[in-house]
Chains A and B, each alone.
Chain A
Amino acid sequence: MGSPLETTFLRPFVAAARARWLPLALPLTLACGSGTPDIPEELLATEPTASPSTYPPGPYLSEVGSTLENFSFSGWRDPVAAGFDPSALEVIRMSDFYDPAGARGLELLLVNTAAIWCQACRVEHRTLPERRAELRARGFEVLSGLFQDASADPADIQDLQTWVEQFEIDFPMVLDPEFQLGKYGSAEAAPINLLVDVRSMRIIERFVGDQEAVMWPLIESELERRSAP
């Protein structure tokens, strides 16, 4: 299951201020970013992003056609295979999907945002595992980031655990309490979907909302085009 734990930190969660209890000593891999006041210290970034040499250089803008920033998160590459076990959380970076020469067998990455308060996100995630499974052999992958809980507070690991169990998520899913993916859309609107070309990590298209009638035909046609001789 995925790569070994890298630069992880065993830190106790101080959850007294939150309604939910989190197990002590969760191995928490932390994302890069600024210190948002509402987010517990333990969830904030301490780790630098991957070396620029392993990832396309910036600038990392938010527009379609721009290169996706090499964010770093804590999550599971395959939550089902990991048994939804918080001790199996690991660092997941955008660079993990960068596949300039096709060595990883990837073509397209769908970067998705989800929040517990967002019912449209839930409905979307009910079918995402199946859709991803259908297209996986053609080089399609999904990375989803859970950013807020039911009250629009930053999501925590228990939220992520409940989510992946609920929908039996078997694709990479990460915690994004700082909402790093907010670079590409507002935290007040969800879901957001970015279709990314993993050869270059350029954003092919951005969808606000679960625009399945538009998005999936585009994914199909992009995969078709790439498999053409």
Chain B
Amino acid sequence: MLGLALLPLSCGDDAVDGPPSPGGAGAAAGAAGSTGGAAGTPGGPECPPPGYATDPPQQLVASVQATLVDEQGAAVAEVPVQVCGLDLCLIDETSASGGVFVEADASIQQPALKVGDGIVFAKYALPLPAETTVHDLGTVPAIRLPAAGEAGALEAGASVASGGVTLELASELALFVDPLDYPEEERGFRAVEVSPERLPWLVDEALGPQALFALSPAGATLCPAGALSVPNTLNLEPGAEVEFYLHGVRIEEEFAPYAGWAKVSDGEVTADGAQIVTAADGGLPELGLLAVRPKE
């Protein structure tokens, strides 16, 4: 288990509150690149991303091996997976038994195994540590998203719900959904809770209990940030303070480091104890895999 530490960063802050994660996925805040993301529209709201881009050294990746399985442990066949870094991507398709074997033999900056298309399966990226060149990740999960027919449209002023997760969008919303990832009919909001036990590479148990939610279209940026409400499956007390973290799947690293985490919002448990909501001055700037955990 890599046990990556979650990297806190308040939304809109310039400074990182904590150390970079040990897996190299975390990074000090840096200049964000121009990405076509939601930096706002002319005359509209401005949402400059904190930016986590760095220039890490290349590391040799000889091969990456894994088996992709669903919630029942069944093999997920014929699904594209990638070994992708900041400078080079290699693609493979799972075998009939869910097998992945990427014989990379390449030097790659910040390599990770990328799983999920954001349409059928949620996207995430497992960092490949530099300590070895041969990576056998064992069984990795395919996190199935709700069907497209259940998706609500992401529109300015809308409140969309899926899988117990509700996202409220500002009336002056500037939304960017990458058309290269999501055809028009696949741009609705979908969410599903993910058991942290399924993603031990990404969850540091030492940081305490946390709930994971996969939101799609992953990588879509929202300006202003969307107000999020998730079920209080952590059974925290009403009024308890929490933090929302975003997992980075985009190598542009605008709102979270690639294959790592960054804090995107504070939050709290509602008075009735049923929901956990983002703070009024926070919110979610980008959709993707989220971790919610009690504030220390």
Contact = CB atoms under 8 A, between A and B. Distances in A.
Contacts of A210: 86-88
Given A119-B251, A150-B181, A190 B89 contact: yes
A225 interface: no
Interface string B85-112: 1111111110000000010001010000
B183 A19 contact: yes
Interface string B134-149: 0000000000000000
Given A116-B180, A162-B179, A152 B80 contact: yes
Contacts of B179: 162, 166
Contacts of A117: 80, 82, 89, 91
Main DSSP-derived SS at the B contact region: loop
A120 B36 contact: no
A209 to B, nearest CB: 3
Given A121-B89, A209-B88, A150 B33 contact: no
Interface string A54-66: 0000000000000
B34 interface: yes
A207 B179 CA distance: 28
A126 interface: yes
Pick from B178, B180, B250 the residue with the most CB of A within 10 Å: B180
Interface residues of B, number: 29
B108 A126 contact: no
Contacts of A120: 84-89, 251
B183 to A, nearest CB: 7
Contact of A209 (B35, B55, B87): B87
B252 interface: yes
A150 B180 contact: yes
A208 B88 contact: yes
A153 to B, nearest CB: 10
A116 B108 CA distance: 19
B60 to A, nearest CB: 13
Contact of A119 (B33, B89, B106): B89
Pick from A116, A120, A210 the residue with the most CB of B within 10 Å: A120
A136 interface: no
Interface string B15-37: 00000000000000000011110
Nearest to B84: A119
Nearest to B106: A208
Interface in B196-228: none
B155 interface: no
Contact of B36 (A118, A126, A189, A211): A126
A133 B36 CA distance: 19
Contacts of A126: 33-36
B183 A20 contact: yes
26 contacts: A115-B91, A118-B91, A119-B89, A119-B250, A120-B84, A120-B85, A120-B86, A121-B89, A123-B251, A126-B34, A150-B117, A150-B180, A151-B80, A162-B180, A163-B180, A166-B36, A166-B178, A166-B179, A189-B90, A190-B91, A208-B106, A209-B87, A209-B108, A210-B88, A212-B87, A213-B55
User: 5 tightest CB-CB pairs across the interface, nearest first?
Assistant: A209-B88, A118-B89, A209-B87, A210-B87, A189-B90
Interface of A: 19-20, 115-123, 126, 150-152, 162-163, 166, 188-191, 208-213
Interface of B: 33-36, 55, 80, 82, 84-93, 102, 106, 108, 117, 178-181, 183, 250-252
Given A189-B88, A210-B86, A212-B87, 5 more contacts: A121-B89, A150-B181, A151-B117, A152-B93, A166-B178
